[in-house]
Amino acid sequence: MTKTHSQKLVREGRFVAEVDVELLHDEGSWSPYLSMDEALKLDKVRAALRAGDVKSASKLARVFSLTPIAV
């Protein structure tokens, strides 16, 4: 089994979080996939953003605010 690092984006409302995760690559299974801990980290970030708790989300990810642009 090999591990690689990647980023996953989580969008909730006007926020986007870039979460660093570790992907697992394994022969004979559905690769790449997240470990349970990594999947729970994504869920924690999503829940924090949904509750408007940017401070908690920023402990696990880089958080950005989306701003609409009028063209």
Chain centroid to CA 50: 13
Condensed to tens digits (0 to 9), the pLDDT of residues 34-56 reads: 999 999 999 999 999 999 999 99
Question: Would you state the pLDDT for residue 52?
Answer: 94
Condensed to tens digits (0 to 9), the pLDDT of residues 7-42 reads: 999 999 999 999 999 999 988 778 899 999 999 999
Question: Would you state the pLDDT for residue 56?
Answer: 97
Q: Whole-model pTM? A: 0.88
Chain centroid to CA 39: 8
Tell me the domain boundaries of the chain.
2-65
**What amino acid occupies position 17?**
A
Q: Which of 9, 37, 6 lies closest to 20, judged by CA? A: 6
Question: Would you state the pLDDT for residue 3?
Answer: 93
